[in-house]
Structure 1
């Protein structure tokens, strides 16, 4: 369970971020990956050389460094979300290069400068499922990506093949597939930021209890369709931010509406599925802003604050810093 979105400011800067909702224990940290970094996929044993540096939140487990989200030096940002019941990795090879699903986010951040670049790259790619060290199974995944221009796409590999879909709303959640979510928005056309002042039923005057009546049909649960609708409505109707600080504040306020507290969503394994962290990136400046379940204080990290001439990843530390009274 996760939600992702983009948001543009008056100045045209594009902000991108997500909630990381998960029911398994993870230890996310911030990493700087230098340009020309050479790495080997433990999933397929292939070696890659990155073209671009990037900053990302991820985790190293059993020697495998995987990423949940990130932004590279060219302003391409991306995140991976769960896609249960729809992701399909059992496809014919068709002479395309196989990229492990766990490596895919790292691969595109290291190789693509823009959404257009990503589209060209995917013509020769197929994604293969490899069990990850956390869940011990091939996690069903899909991806959302954006760049400095504000273009946004969703990447989904299902039984019909690998598709890269234009995302005009700049929002993504989990299953069903993206096209279903966009069609589902039509069920909520009556939602409004305004409200009727009065209605007359057979001579009886009815007035609203207070402000906000136009949003009474906005779904309030934490299923993927409900989170998609709620995020899409809020991001498209909030005031356009006039500055970077306003943009970041707007992003986090919107995501607060889909942030899941512990104990509200319990899996069939008896574990809590909750929002481990919320993070946003400025694709123009490569700055990261994040807060965690344990500490709501926002922390900032920038790609450009560190030596980019090294040959190995730089681990900036865990993002989990419990709040102490």
Structure 2
């Protein structure tokens, strides 16, 4: 989650049957299923990522090319863009189920006061515990769900553009680049890592997509929840934005406020904040799912050190 102002997010569990106040639909949004994710109460709980009790996960990313409808449509679930994650996690069990019910959803161009009264341009990555992964976008041709063969998504441009851009990088490899002759000169690389020369290292969403697609493909495959979270954390280090490295037009620092990991197989959410690398772990339980109200969990914001004598 990269922003230039503090989002104040923390892990929150939304129980089964919780009714969200909605910007368009007077009846609100009912979450049939409970879920855990990162959220904040701003009049209503705003949740931007998470996993539900059925192992279905979703996360929000920016897409400036988004084009939403001007008004509600009778017979559909009418949603503001920022309400999509609570709706998806609260009502779907698999990506396949979402594919079958895509026509039930209408995204309306509604401004969000917390975000400065703008229509927040978003798209979403969704996945389930079968390994099915897809990207949800609306850019003018209606709401579309695209299969995601690389399992990665970042911000703009649209998903199809990112996939096409990967064609610029088929030469990337984790092994050492082979020697090459230039005339009569036989040239060897400087050593291990030369196979990845050309991997983009800046903080644009375009470069981060390529970098994470490469890291995900070549990174060590491990088993077990602890090993998986540890490995993913190391992979995410390659796209983490420290304060000061990426400045907005007004010179405010856009930085990685937190990193979140979802274990879809056992319905567990992990949040790792910028100011403290300690990971907070929340697993869905029947008590949390059947609670009368959402449950919030505090996160650490002070780095702890262990002294070794």
User: TM-score, normalised on structure 1?
Assistant: 0.88
Q: Displacement of 1:202 after TM fit?
A: 2.5
Q: Which residue of 1 aligns with 2:66?
A: 87
**2:235 corresponds to 1:254:** yes
The offset of 1:200, in angstroms, is 2.4
CA distance in 2, matches of 1:249, 1:101: 32
Question: C-alpha separation between the residues in 1 aligned to 2:140 and 2:183?
Answer: 55
Aligned to 2:56: 76
Shift of 1:92: 7.0
The Cα shift of 1:292 comes to 1.0
1:157 is matched with which residue? 138
Which residue of 1 is the match for residue 250 of structure 2? 269
Q: Tell me the CA shift for residue 297 of structure 1.
A: 1.8
The Cα of 1:40 is off from its aligned counterpart by 2.4
C-alpha distance in structure 2 between counterparts of 1:192 and 1:324, whole Å? 37
When the two chains are superposed, the root-mean-square deviation of aligned CA atoms in Å is 1.7
Structure 2 contact 271–281 (Cα < 8 Å) conserved: yes
CA deviation after TM superposition for structure 1 residue 265, in Å: 0.8
Greater RCO, CA 8 A, separation 6+: 1
Answer yes or no: is 1:303 the counterpart of 2:284. Answer: yes
CA separation in 1, counterparts of 2:96 and 2:2?
29
**Number of aligned pairs?**
303
**Which consecutive unaligned segments of at least 5 residues does structure 1 have?**
1-19
Indicate the residue corresponding to 1:16 in structure 2: none
Q: Select between 111-120 and 188-197 the one with higher mean Cα deviation.
A: 188-197
The match for 1:14 is none
| Structure 2 unmatched ranges of 5 or more | none
Q: Please give the alpha-carbon distance, in whole angstroms, between the structure 1 residues aligned to 2:196 and 2:271.
A: 28
Q: Which has the higher strand share?
A: 1
1:232–1:308 Cα change, 3 Å:
same
- Note the C-alpha offset of 1:102: 1.7
Structure 1 residue 91 displacement after superposition: 5.2
Tell me the TM-score normalized by structure 2.
Answer: 0.93
Distance 1:92 1:55, change over 3 A: closer
